[in-house]
Each structure stands twice: as structure tokens, then as C-alpha cells.
Amino acid sequence: MEWVIEVKNLVKDFNGKRVLHGITFQVVKGDLFGYLGPNGAGKTTTIKILLGLLKPTSGKALVLGEPLAKNSKIRSRIGVILESDGLFARFTAFENLDFYAKIYGLKNNAERKRRIMKLLELVNLYEYRNVKVGHFSRGMKRRLAFARALINNPRVLLLDEPTSGLDPEARNLVRNLLTKLSKEEKITIFLTSHDLNEIQKICSRVAILMNGKILAIDTIDNLIKNFSEPLVEISFIDENESQRVYEYLKNLTYVIDCKRYGEKISVILNKDQSKLLQDLLEINARIREITKPRKTLEEVYLELVRRGC
Ligand SMILES: Nc1ncnc2c1ncn2[C@@H]1O[C@H](COP(=O)(O)OP(=O)(O)O)[C@@H](O)[C@H]1O
Ligand SMILES: [Mg+2]
């Protein structure tokens, strides 16, 4: 398995206070990996260690197989967004990107210009290319930071809250772009976000971090499956029918819990629902609808954070 990011037993203390307690996770090539957690969980600290901006107290944090030192060659294959946008207010949008493009060694003037224009179009800032960034809204700066992160054609993106401060339209733009970069160009993306809905829409795998410890790490599908109770909701044609079926269901051995709300019954089973369906047919239950509600990532996250385990 090719690991693009590998973090092993990572520990970080600030002035004797432990903020990362031995974190371990890996991100494979082409993954869109979400790093979730409440404020102060240690997300930014992890990204800064991955970037070589902070030294770990102990443990490993490798990107493309190496710890990122200041002058590491691998830096040129990585795109970054941190909490501050790293833009110059007195430069125009174009000049900002031009500055970074030169740092990355794009020497050919025509080629550099083409690439900058393409990126400005990609983040919908082309018509503002000659406006000084000092006049930009927070959302515009964030989009420009995103273009800046892509200037060197990176293979890996490390993004700390890339969509914070964006309006819904710009969020959508960045979201689609991330999905595209990951799917079509196989760019590996590691991002932190507070927006669980967003993470659920775009990420394949997530880690949930709290107080410097990983509470869960898995694909979103698995997390939801593991946290969803085997719950089935059944609506009947009227209340008499739901009452009749309720009296029957509550005595069945495989029914762990059973609640009736008017025409509806919700049942928790200790086996899959095929036996229940058979038995309902057997007693000629007059059913309107059967649903199996799935938890959202947000519900799983809140449950994990509440338990703190
Ligand atoms: N430079 C620092 N010095 C001391 N404590 C810090 C420093 N940076 C972060 N912390 C502390 O480390 C913890 C994790 O912070 P951070 O990684 O920024 O969390 P997150 O990004 O998940 O909100 C917090 O308790 C924060 O106060
Ligand atoms: Mg942070």
C-alpha cells in the first residue's frame, strides 16, 4: 500500500502540556481524507507538524515518505492552506500568484501567466485579477489562497479549514474542485473542517480527533454502519393496525425494543430484518411503509464526542 501521509505515535507537548497523545493514521494515494474534531482538538498542530513548521515531541509524521524539513525537495509537490491565507494585501490577485509561482521556479513567463490565469478562472476570480487583495472579502481571499495552493501542480494538498469563511456558492465551488482533483488527478487531499455535512459529501475516509486522541478512523460508510442501531420504522394504514401489530411484536424474542407512535412503530432487532418481514406477512399486517433510518456523519460525530471515548 502506498502511503502518502504516515503519522505514527505522534506526540506534541506545548510547555509541558500534552496536546497530541500518540496519534497514528495513514492516508493512501488519491484519498480525500477528512480530519475532524472540535476546537482545540489538535488538528492544526498535526498539519503544522506534517509541514515541518512545528517539531514533534516524539513520533513520526511523514509526507511522501519523508519528514518535511524546511528545504526539502518534496515541498514543491505539496500545496497548503493554513488558517492565515498567506497573501499580500498590497499585491493584486495576479501578483500574489505570480510571486508564489516564481518561488516554485516557474521561470517561463508565458507559461507562468497561462497557469495563473487558468487558476484565477478556476476559483472565479479572473475578473478581479488586477484588484489589490487588500480590497478582497474574506471569501475571495480564501479562494485565492486555494489557487495559490495549486500553483505548483501539487500531488498532495494539506488544507486547514479550506472552506471556512466561504459563502455557500464558494463552498460548493471548492467542494467540487476537491472532488475533481482527487478523482481525476489522483491528488491526495488531507483536510480539516468543522462542517460535517461537507465532509460527508466529499471525503472517503475520516479520523475524528478529540483532546489530542483519535476516537475513530474509518470510511464514512463504516462509521455510520457501526453506529446505526438495527432500527426499523414501520408505518401502518391506521392506529388500530399499529396497535394490533405492536401487541404482537413486543412478545417476539428477536425484538429488543419496540415503540409505538400513532400509526408508526419503531423496532430495534437483534437480527436482520428478513425474519420481521416474514412474521409481518404471516399476520397480514397492513403496512404503508418500512424505512431503515441511517445516521448522518454529524450524529455519529456528536455521539463519539459526547462519549469522548
Ligand atoms: N503555539 C502553541 N503554544 C501553546 N499551546 C498551543 C500552541 N498551539 C496550539 N496550542 C494548544 O494546542 C491545542 C490544540 O490546538 P490546535 O491544534 O490549534 O487545535 P484545532 O486546530 O483542532 O482547533 C489547544 O489546546 C491549543 O491551545
Ligand atoms: Mg485549527
Domain parsing of the chain, residue ranges: 3-225, 229-291
- For the stretch 186-224, pLDDT in tens is 999 999 987 888 888 899 999 999 999 999 999 999 988
Q: What long-range pairs does 16-23 form, CB within 8 A, spacing at least 24?
A: 18/212, 19/45, 19/212, 20/45, 20/46, 20/49, 20/56, 20/212, 21/211, 21/212, 21/213, 22/59, 22/213, 23/59, 23/209, 23/212, 23/213, 23/214
Q: Which CATH class is domain 3-225?
A: alpha beta
Instruction: Quote the ligand 1 centre to 160 CA distance (angstroms).
Output: 13
Strands (E), 39-147: 58-63, 78-81
Residue pair 181/216 in contact by the 8 Å Cβ criterion: no
Atom of ligand 1 nearest to the CA of 12: 12
Q: In this predicted structure, what is the pLDDT of residue 86? A: 87
- For the stretch 17-75, pLDDT in tens is 999 999 999 999 999 999 999 899 999 999 999 999 999 999 999 999 988 877 778 88
Atom of ligand 1 nearest to the CA of 209: 22
Q: In this predicted structure, what is the pLDDT of residue 41? A: 93
d(CA 269, CA 274): 11
Q: In this predicted structure, what is the pLDDT of residue 269? A: 86
Is the pLDDT at 161 greater than 80, yes or no? yes
**Adjacent-strand bridge partners of 260:** 265
What is the grid cell recorded at 275? 425474519
Q: What percent of the chain lies above the pLDDT cut of 70?
A: 99
Vertex 217: Cα angle to 216 and 222 (nearest 5): 95
- Report the mean per-residue pLDDT for the chain: 91
> Ligand 1 within 6 A of 37 CB?
yes
> Ligand 1 within 6 A of 53 CB?
no
* Residue with CA nearest ligand 1 atom 17: 42
> Ligand 1 within 6 A of 38 CB?
no
**Reported pTM:** 0.83
d(CA 281, CA 262): 21
pLDDT band, residue 227 (cuts 50/70/90): confident
Instruction: Quote the ligand 2 centre to 243 CA distance (angstroms).
Output: 52
Which residue, chain included where needed, has cell 423496532? 267
Contacts of 270 (CB under 8 A, 6+ apart): 230, 254, 255, 256
- For the stretch 231-272, pLDDT in tens is 889 999 999 999 999 999 999 988 989 999 999 999 988 877
Q: In this predicted structure, what is the pLDDT of residue 1? A: 66
Closest-approaching ligand to the CA atom of 209: 1
Give the CATH number of domain 229-291; options: 3.30.1360.40, 3.40.50.620, 3.40.50.300, 3.40.630.30: 3.30.1360.40
Atom of ligand 1 nearest to the CA of 39: 23
> Ligand 1 within 6 A of 43 CB?
yes
